[in-house]
C-alpha cells in the first residue's frame, strides 16, 4: 500500500529518523570518551588519546594528541611491539648446565629453550655461562658467576647487571634504547656489541662494535669500538680484546672489533651520513587568528604533531618541550606529544628550561633523500605521522645546532609506584582474536557505562600491562614500574573516581553526579586484581642544561 | 573553504573545542542521525569532525561561525557515509533492519526518505533537516546559515518538491519490485 504523499511534511516528520534523548546522550557520552581516549596512537590500539592530567577543574582536550600518536608509537614500539610479539624477555640459547632462574630467592636450573619472563633474574653458577636471545633479537652472553635481570625501561629494555660480565649484541632498536645498568653506571645503545662488567669495586664498559653512551652519575661519555671506561680507577685495566677473551665467540668479537675500528674511521670521512636536516627553517608561530588575546600564553607543552613526507618534516606551534619530547621520545606510552610532554615534566623526568618555554615555533626541515624513516597511520580519518629514530636524530641535531641545546641524562632516586599483583591474583581478560584492537587510554571524566555517574576510565585493548602502567602514571603523577610479571595482552576497562578537582560537565551531562569512590588504587585491586605499591627507584631523567632561543630564518 | 589556518594556541583551541563540543554535539548528532538513520554513523560523524579540529584542521568558516560550520560538516559527512554505503551496496542501515517492532512499510518509507536525502544537494538537505528535525523557522535557518530569509524559503520549497518526487519514485519502484 502506498502511503499518502500529499502532505510531504507529515510523511517526512513521521519517518525521518530521530534519535531518542537517551540514545543520544549515551552516544555523545561515548564519543566524548573516545575523543579523550584518542591518544590511542593508532587504530591497532588506540591512536592517540589523550590523557588529561588531573590539572584543573575542567577537562581539557589535548591538542596534538592525535599527532602524538607518532611519538606514542615509538614508545609503544619498544615497550610494546617488541614485547607484544614476544612477551617473554628471552630464551636460553645455550648453556653449560649451570644457568638458573631465581624465583623467590631460590635458584631453579634452566635448560636450553627455557623462556624467561620480564623481571626474572638469571644467574650463571657454572664455569662457562650461557647465551640468551632477547625478544627484540638482541643476544646476551653471560660469563660464569654472573647475574642479571631484564626489565622494561621507559623507552626500551633495561638489563640490570647485578654481578659478573656480559657481552651484549644489541639488535637495532627501532626507537629508544637498550640499557645495561649496574650499581654505578648506565650504558645505552641503539644497536651495537659491547661488554659490561660489574664488580665489587666498580663497573667497566668496553665497546666491540658501534657506539654506546655511558653515564656515571652526572657524567656522560660516548665510547667507540676499542674504547673502554671503568668507574673506579683502581680497577685493573686490560685491552678490550683481553676483556672479552672469556667469550665463546672471542675470535668473532675480536674480528668485529678490528673491522669496526676501520669502519668508524671510514664513516667519519663521510659527512653526508651524518643525520641532520639539509635545510631547516625556524619561525616564531603566528599569533592565533581570533584567539582572543591568549597569544603567547603559558602552556609549555603544546603543539600539533609533525607532518612528514619523504623530504620534509614540519611542525607548527610547537614549544621547546614538545620538540624535545619528540626528539628524545619522552613520556613513554602515555598519549600524544603534548600529553607525554606534560607528563614528563610533571613526573620530573624532563626538567630545566628557559623562561621562554611557552614560545611556539613553526619548523620545517628538508630530510636528506632516502633517510626519512616514518610511518603514517590513519586514525578516525586523520593522518598521524610517526618519526623514526633517524628523524629523531635529525631533530636532536637541529635542537643542538639551532637552539644550542645541551641535555644531561641523570639517574635520580624518585618516589615511584610498583604495579604488582594483588593478593587474590589478577582478574584480567586476555585479548582474543576478534576483540577490539586499539590502545585505549585514560579519560579523566565522562559517563559510566550505565550513565549514572561521571567516572575516570582507563581502557586497554590488546594491551600489555606496561601500557596500563603508562596510563597509571598520568593518574598518579608518579613513574609506575611494571613489577607484575604478567605477560600477554589484555582487554580491560578500569572505572574509578575522578580526581577531586574534576567537577563534571553540567551543560553536557546535566544531573549526572561525579563518582566519589573507589579511588584508582582500590579500583585497580577490585577490578583488575592488581595493586600499586609506593616505593623509590632510580629513574632516568633528562635535564636541559643549556638552551638558547633560535634565530629565525 | 578547507584552507587550514593557524588558530588559537593549542591550549586555547582545546578549551574552545571543549566548550563547543558541549554546545553543539547534540545538534550534530541529531543531524547525522536524521541523515543516516544509524547511531553508529552519527557517532562517527561527531567523532570525525572533532578529531579533524583537534588535528588543527580548522577551516576559516569554523572561525567565523562554528555552529554553521559544524552543522554543515555534519550534513556533508553523513551524506558521504550514506552515499559511500550505497555505492558499495551495503545494507542501508543495520539498525533499521534490526527493529522488529517497526512495521515493514514504515521501514521502507524511511529507507526511501534517506535514499532521497542522499540524492539531494547538500544545501537542500541542510535546510530540510533544520526544518523538519530541528523545527527551525525560515528566519532561524537564514540566520544560522547566513542567507536571506527569501533564499531559504525558495530553497526549502524546491527541496520539498524534489524530495516528494524522489520519494514517490522510490516508493513506486519498491512497490513494483514486490
CB contact residues (below 8 A), chain B span 125-144, against chain A:
128, 132-133
Decide if pLDDT at B5 tops 60: no
Where residue B88 falls among pLDDT bands split at 50, 70, 90? very low
Contact yes or no for B51 and A303 at CB 8 A: no
pLDDT for A479: 85
Of the pLDDT bands very low, low, confident and very high (cuts 50, 70, 90), residue A332 is: low
Is B120:B163 a contact under the CB 8 Å cutoff?
yes
pLDDT tier for residue A144 given thresholds of 50, 70 and 90: confident
Q: Which residue in B26, B34, B54 is closest to A17 by CB distance?
A: B34
User: Is the distance from CB of A299 to CB of A337 less than 8 angstroms?
Assistant: no
Q: Is B99 on the interface with A (CB under 8 A)?
A: no
Q: Helix, strand, coil shares of chain B as percentages rounded to 5?
A: 80, 0, 20
Q: What distance in Å separates residue A362's CA from the closest CA in chain B?
A: 11
CA separation for the pair A455, B105 (Å, rounded):
42
pLDDT at A34 (0 to 100): 67
Tens digit of each residue's pLDDT (9 = 90 or more) over A447-484: 777 778 888 888 887 778 877 888 888 888 888 888 88
Dmax over Cα atoms in chain A, in whole Å?
101
Residue B174, pLDDT above cutoff 70: no
A505: closest chain B residue by CA: B22
Q: At residue A338, does pLDDT exceed 80?
A: no
Smallest CA-to-CA distance from A107 within A147, A62, A51 is with A147
- Bigger pLDDT: A13 vs A503: A13
Greater confidence (B28 vs A383) lies with B28
Grid coordinates in use for A161?
A: 647487571
> For A518-530, what is the mean pLDDT?
95
The model's confidence at residue B14, banded by pLDDT at 50, 70 and 90, is: low
Burial class (CB in 10 A: 0-12, 13-18, 19+), B84: exposed
Residue A520 has pLDDT above 90, yes or no: yes
Q: Which pLDDT band, with edges at 50, 70 and 90, does B15 fall under?
A: low
Which of A164-178, A352-366, B68-82 has the lowest average pLDDT? A164-178
User: What are the residues facing A409 on neighbouring strands?
Assistant: A542
Determine how β-strand A139-142 pairs with β-strand A146-153: unpaired
pLDDT of residue B73: 92
| pLDDT tier for residue A152 given thresholds of 50, 70 and 90 | confident
pLDDT in tens, A220-250: 677 777 777 777 767 766 777 777 888 877 7
Q: Per-residue confidence at A505, pLDDT binned at 50, 70, 90?
A: low
pLDDT recorded at residue A295: 32
**A339: contact with B, CB 8 A cutoff:** no
Give residue-wise pLDDT tens across range B38-66.
Answer: 888 898 889 888 877 776 666 777 878 88
Q: What are phi and psi of B29, to 5 degrees?
A: -65, -50
Contacts of B15 in chain A (CB under 8 A): 58, 60-61
Q: How confident is the model at residue B13 (pLDDT cuts 50, 70, 90)?
A: low
> How many C-beta atoms surround the C-beta of residue B82 within 10 A?
23
CA distance B58 to chain A (A): 11
Spatial separation of the C-alpha atoms in residues A205 and A165, rounded to whole Å: 10
Q: How many angstroms separate the CA atoms of A309 and A74, rounded?
A: 17
Helix (H, G, I), strand (E, B) or coil at A192: coil
Map grid coordinates 559511500 to a residue: B84
Q: Is the pLDDT of residue A369 over 50?
A: yes
Question: Could you tell me which residues are beta bridge partners of residue A147?
Answer: A123, A163
Number of CB atoms found within 10 A of residue A538's CB: 15
What DSSP assignment string belongs to B118-170?
A: HHS-HHHHHHHHHHHTS---HHHHHHHHT--HHHHHHHHHHHHHHHHHHHHHH
pLDDT at A106: 76
Place of cell 516528494: B164
At residue A73, does pLDDT exceed 70? no
Q: What percent of chain A has pLDDT over 70?
A: 71
The candidate with the shortest Cα–Cα distance to B5, out of B45, B43, B56, B49, is B56
Q: Where are the alpha helices (DSSP H) in A182-312?
A: 240-243, 250-267
What distance in Å separates residue B27's CA from the closest CA in chain A? 10
Instruction: Look over chain A and give the mean of its residue pLDDT values, rounded to a whole number.
Output: 73
Rounded Cα distance, B17 and A151, in Å: 40
Q: Is the pLDDT of residue A427 over 90?
A: yes
Contact A37, A443 (CB under 8 A): yes
Q: Are A191 and A172 in contact (CB under 8 A)?
A: yes
**pLDDT, tens only, A28-50:** 877 776 676 543 332 222 222 22
Q: Which of A112-121, A309-318, A388-397, B125-134 has the highest mean pLDDT?
A: B125-134
Helix (H, G, I), strand (E, B) or coil at B80: helix
Contact A305, A315 (CB under 8 A): yes
Residue A521: pLDDT above 90? yes
Asked if A12 reaches chain B (Cβ–Cβ under 8 Å), the answer is yes
pLDDT of residue A403: 93
B100 touches chain A (CB under 8 A): no
Residue A508 in contact with partner chain B when CB distance is under 8 A: yes
Q: Report the residue of B2, B3, B11, B172 to disrupt the A interface, i.e. the one with the largest count of A CBs within 10 Å.
A: B11
- The answer to whether A288 faces chain B, any CB pair under 8 Å, is yes
Q: Determine, for residues A12 and B163 on separate chains, whether the beta-carbon distance falls below 8 Å.
A: yes
Q: Do A361 and A354 form a contact (C-beta atoms < 8 A)?
A: no
| Residue B34: all three cell numbers together | 536524521
Confidence of residue A287 (pLDDT cuts 50, 70, 90): low
pLDDT band (50, 70, 90) for residue A548: very high
Are A63 and B10 an interchain contact pair (Cβ–Cβ within 8 Å)?
A: yes
Q: Is the pLDDT of residue A268 over 60?
A: no
The percent of residues above 90 in pLDDT, for chain A, comes to 12
| Count of CB atoms situated within 10 Å of the CB of A456 | 26
Using the beta-carbon criterion (under 8 Å), do B9 and A317 form an inter-chain contact? Answer: yes
Residue A411: pLDDT band by 50, 70, 90 thresholds? confident
Integer Cα distance of A432 and A126 in angstroms: 42
Cα distances (angstroms) measured from residue A522 to each of A513, A519, A532: 20, 5, 9
The pLDDT assigned to A154 comes to 62
Mean local confidence (pLDDT), B66-82: 90
Residue A66 touches chain B, beta carbons under 8 Å: yes
**Whole-number pLDDT of residue B105:** 63
pLDDT at A281 over 90: yes
Three-state DSSP state, A537? strand
State whether A382 and B55 contact (CB < 8 Å): yes
Set of chain B residues whose Cβ sits within 8 Å of the Cβ of A30: 43
- CB neighbours (10 Å) of residue A184? 15
Amino acid at each position: 500500500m502506498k502511503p499518502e504523499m500529499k502532505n510531504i511534511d507529515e510523511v517526512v516528520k513521521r519517518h525521518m529518523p530521530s534519535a531518542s534523548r537517551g540514545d543520544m546522550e549515551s552516544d555523545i557520552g561515548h564519543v566524548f570518551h573516545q575523543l579523550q581516549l584518542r591518544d590511542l596512537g593508532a587504530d591497532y590500539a588506540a591512536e592517540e588519546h589523550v590523557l588529561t592530567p588531573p590539572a584543573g577543574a575542567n577537562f581539557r582536550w589535548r591538542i596534538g594528541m592525535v599527532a602524538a600518536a607518532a611519538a606514542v608509537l615509538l614508545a609503544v614500539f619498544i615497550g610494546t611491539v617488541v614485547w607484544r610479539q614476544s612477551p617473554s624477555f628471552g630464551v636460553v640459547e645455550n648453556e653449560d648446565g649451570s644457568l638458573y632462574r631465581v624465583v623467590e630467592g631460590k635458584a631453579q636450573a634452566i635448560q636450553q629453550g627455557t623462556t624467561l619472563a620480564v623481571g626474572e633474574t638469571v644467574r650463571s653458577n657454572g664455569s662457562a655461562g650461557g647465551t640468551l636471545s632477547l625478544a627484540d633479537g638482541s643476544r646476551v652472553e653471560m660469563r660464569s658467576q654472573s647475574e642479571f635481570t631484564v626489565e622494561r625501561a621507559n623507552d626500551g629494555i633495561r638489563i640490570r647487571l647485578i654481578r659478573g660480565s656480559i657481552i651484549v649484541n644489541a639488535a637495532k632498536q627501532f626507537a629508544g634504547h637498550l640499557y645495561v645498568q649496574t650499581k654505578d653506571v648506565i650504558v645505552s645503545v641503539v644497536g651495537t656489541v659491547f661488554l659490561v662488567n660489574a664488580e665489587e669495586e666498580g663497573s667497566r664498559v668496553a665497546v666491540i662494535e658501534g657506539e654506546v653512551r655511558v653515564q656515571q652519575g652526572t657524567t656522560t661519555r660516548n665510547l667507540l669500538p676499542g674504547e673502554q671506561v671503568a668507574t673506579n680507577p683502581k680497577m685493573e685495566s686490560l685491552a678490550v680484546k683481553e676483556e672479552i677473551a672469556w667469550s665463546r665467540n672471542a675470535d668473532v668479537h675480536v674480528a668485529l672489533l678490528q673491522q669496526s675500528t676501520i669502519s668508524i674511521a671510514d664513516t667519519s670521512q663521510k659527512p653526508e651520513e651524518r643525520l641532520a636536516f639539509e635545510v631547516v627553517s625556524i619561525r616564531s608561530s603566528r599569533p592565533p587568528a581570533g584567539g582572543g588575546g591568549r597569544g603567547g600564553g603559558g602552556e609549555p607543552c603544546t603543539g600539533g604533531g609533525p607532518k612528514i613526507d619523504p623530504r620534509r618534516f614540519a611542525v607548527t606551534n610547537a614549544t621547546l618541550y614538545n620538540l624535545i619530547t619528540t626528539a628524545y621520545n619522552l613520556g613513554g606510552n602515555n598519549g600524544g606529544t603534548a600529553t607525554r610532554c606534560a607528563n614528563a615534566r610533571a613526573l620530573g623526568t624532563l626538567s630545566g628550561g628557559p623562561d621562554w618555554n611557552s614560545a611556539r615555533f613553526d619548523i620545517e626541515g628538508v630530510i636528506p633523500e632516502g633517510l626519512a624513516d616514518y610511518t603514517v597511520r590513519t586514525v578516525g580519518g586523520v593522518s598521524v605521522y610517526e618519526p623514526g629514530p633517524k628523524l629523531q636524530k635529525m631533530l636532536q641535531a637541529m635542537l643542538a645546532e639551532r637552539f644550542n641545546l645541551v641535555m644531561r641524562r641523570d639517574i635520580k632516586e624518585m618516589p615511584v609506584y610498583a604495579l604488582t599483583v594483588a593478593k587474590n591474583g589478577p582478574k584480567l581478560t586476555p585479548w582474543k582474536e576478534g576483540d577490539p584492537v586499539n590502545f585505549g587510554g585514560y579519560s579523566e571524566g565522562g559517563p559510566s557505562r550505565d550513565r549514572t555517574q561521571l567516572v575516570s576510565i582507563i581502557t586497554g585493548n590488546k594491551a600489555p600491562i606496561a601500557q596500563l602502567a603508562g596510563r597509571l602514571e598520568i593518574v598518579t603523577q608518579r613513574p609506575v614500574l611494571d613489577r607484575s610479571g604478567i605477560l600477554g595482552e589484555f582487554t580491560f576497562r578500569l572505572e574509578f573516581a575522578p580526581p577531586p578537582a574534576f567537577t563534571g560537565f553540567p551543560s553536557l551531562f546535566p544531573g549526572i553526579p561525579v563518582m566519589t569512590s573507589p579511588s584508582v588504587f582500590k579500583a585497580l585491586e577490585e577490578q583488575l586484581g592488581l595493586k600499586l605499591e609506593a616505593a623509590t627507584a632510580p629513574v632516568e631523567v633528562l635535564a636541559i642544561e643549556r638552551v638558547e632561543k633560535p634565530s629565525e630564518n | 573553504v578547507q584552507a587550514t589556518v593557524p588558530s588559537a594556541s593549542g591550549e586555547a583551541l582545546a578549551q574552545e573545542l571543549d566548550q563547543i563540543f558541549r554546545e553543539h554535539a547534540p545538534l550534530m548528532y541529531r543531524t547525522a542521525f536524521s541523515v543516516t538513520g544509524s547511531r553508529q554513523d552519527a557517532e562517527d560523524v561527531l567523532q570525525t569532525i572533532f578529531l579533524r579540529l583537534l588535528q588543527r584542521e580548522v577551516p576559516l568558516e569554523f572561525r567565523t561561525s562554528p555552529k554553521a560550520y559544524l552543522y554543515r560538516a555534519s550534513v556533508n559527512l553523513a551524506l558521504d557515509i550514506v552515499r559511500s554505503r550505497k555505492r558499495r551496496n551495503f545494507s542501508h542501515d543495520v539498525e533499521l533492519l534490526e527493529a522488529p517492532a517497526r512495521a515493514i512499510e514504515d521501514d521502507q518509507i524511511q529507507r526511501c526518505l534517506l535514499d532521497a536525502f542522499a540524492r539531494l544537494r547538500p544545501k537542500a538537505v541542510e535546510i530540510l533537516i533544520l526544518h523538519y528535525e530541528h523545527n527551525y523557522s525560515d528566519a532561524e535557518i537564514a540566520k544560522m546559515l547566513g542567507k536571506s530569509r527569501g533564499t531559504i524559503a525558495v530553497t526549502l520549497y524546491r527541496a520539498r518538491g524534489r524530495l516528494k518526487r524522489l520519494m514517490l519514485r522510490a516508493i513506486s519502484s519498491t512497490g513494483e519490485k514486490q
